[in-house]
Amino acid sequence: MIWESWGAFWDMGGRGFFVWGSYGALAIAIVAELVALKRARTAALKALQEENDL
């Protein structure tokens, strides 16, 4: 382990804002994409079922 403490980890040498702002943005982007993927699939399946009265 190279961090003295968890505090130091979150602080990232004073640049925590930039590091976690980046990783946070990535996390948000991934979640947003996954949600969009799920919603599109649900809608497509629903449309398919309705059209064919399944």
Residues numbered 10-39 forming contacts with another protein, rule: CB under 8 A: 12-15, 17-19, 21-23, 25-26, 29-30, 32-34, 36-37
What DSSP character marks residue 29? Answer: H
Using CB under 8 A as the binding rule, whether residue 51 contacts another protein is answered as yes
Tally of CB atoms within 10 A around 20: 14
Which two three-digit tokens encode residue 51?
A: 């059209």
Using CB under 8 A as the binding rule, whether residue 4 contacts another protein is answered as no
Residue 10: CB partners within 8 Å, gap ≥ 6? 16, 20
Place of tokens 């399944």: 54
- Residues at the interface with another protein (CB under 8 A): 1-3, 9, 12-15, 17-19, 21-23, 25-26, 29-30, 32-34, 36-37, 40-41, 44-45, 47-49, 51-52, 54
